[in-house]
Amino acid sequence: MEKPKKISENFFNMDEVKFYSFTIITALIITIGYYSGVDSYFLGWIAFTVAAFSVAGNDAIQTIGTFIESKKEGRLLPKVLIFCGLLYIVHLYGWKIDDGEIHFHRLDKFEPSKTYNLLQLLSPFVLVVITRLKAPISTTFLILGLFGGNNNIEKMLTKSFLGYGIAFSIALIVWGILSVLYKKDYDGTRETEKDSTFWQTAQWVSTSYLWVAWLLQDTANIAVFLPRKLSIYEVISALFIISIALTIIIKTNGGKIQEVVSEKTDIKSAKAATIVDLVYASILLVFQSWNNVPMSTTWVFLGMLAGREVILHITTSKDKPYLETFRQVGKDVVLASLGIAVSIFIFIMSSLIYTKDSAILQFIPNQIIGLFDSNMTLKIH
């Protein structure tokens, strides 16, 4: 019989200690650099590096998460070569046609930042910690929200919630039809068999398709820390940093947040993962062409998975209680909603502290404001 783990082993896991120690030290370096007057250009690159790792970690579940889940035993090198290769191809092409910019017009409505405030620089660290806690937070709201202003926040929220509803509805239709036409694939009556060569190959294609669609939407979430126009040396450096983060994510099989995908029905099958990727990527590309307002791809992904779970448990004869299905779906929504709440709270704090003409600022002591922006002086009437 396996001996139960000690409480100290659960709460003081060495990997956790190393992770949080490194995170705190890096955050302190940025904070000290900020107060020491280090040039915003260099602070932006540090924040970009942290954001690259945190965004890759958080959003891995919605891009290569299904691929990782079904190919955990596969070799590392082919995965890295394919996904890092696409990363370079897509961004270098975008950099070429968009005159040195790599955000694919997602930042067109955002004013370029010549300087960064402390909350903007530390937002990637909040994302790192929340991702470690396995909460699928929206990187769009948490990071871009601090750069966008009230008008952009409202548009991003509207588009993201609409995306959840549309993805949920499409999933109900797609998997409702599939569960009727191919009932044995979803009700557990088909004997377990190895995925055919066709579906193995199809999954590589569908995941690559999804990876490109996601890059077009979410690269802006980390590119916001860089100058809008990059030299060839800067863009290569940025892509190298992202590729290192991606390699680590693939090597660790998605990290802790991968459980959001792992607990879903039948997702380990190459056929099931291929269909998920194709549907999700197509939804993202539709929104990509709709307008250039950034949106939370996390909410679109969760909406699709929720719709898929609900319809499969309604149309199949599986023994899993409906209450358990809605518990899983509800848990994802609650965690994502908490992520939005944290993002909006940080946005409000940033607005209050860094917006000089806000009426609410007069109720906040100058000493507190000075902790975040030593150059700001309040005129209280």
Task: Kindly report the three-state secondary structure assignment for every residue of 149-186.
Answer: HHHHHHHHHHHHHHHHHHHHHHHHHHHHHHHHHCHHHH
Is 265 inside a domain boundary?
yes
Is 22 inside a domain boundary?
no
In the predicted model, is pLDDT for residue 356 greater than 80? no
Length of the chain: 381
Of residues 187 and 51, the one with the higher pLDDT is 51
In the predicted model, is pLDDT for residue 25 greater than 60? yes
Is 213 inside a domain boundary?
yes
Whether residue 86 contacts residue 2, with contact meaning beta carbons closer than 8 Å, is answered with no
Q: What percent of the chain has pLDDT over 90?
A: 25
Is 6 inside a domain boundary?
no
Q: What percent of the chain has pLDDT over 70?
A: 70
Supply the pLDDT for residue 84.
92
**DSSP for residue 191:** P
Supply the pLDDT for residue 301.
84
Supply the pLDDT for residue 9.
47
- In single-letter form, the type of residue at position 346 comes to I
Q: Which domain holds residue 248?
A: 39-352
Tell me the pLDDT tens digit for each residue of 170-211.
999 999 898 888 777 666 655 555 557 888 888 889 989 999
Is 132 inside a domain boundary?
yes
pTM of the model: 0.79
- Structural domains in the chain (count): 1
Is 366 inside a domain boundary?
no
Is 369 inside a domain boundary?
no
In the predicted model, is pLDDT for residue 156 greater than 50? yes
Is 16 inside a domain boundary?
no
Whether residue 41 contacts residue 229, with contact meaning beta carbons closer than 8 Å, is answered with no
CA-CA distance, 375 to 371, in Å (whole number)?
A: 10
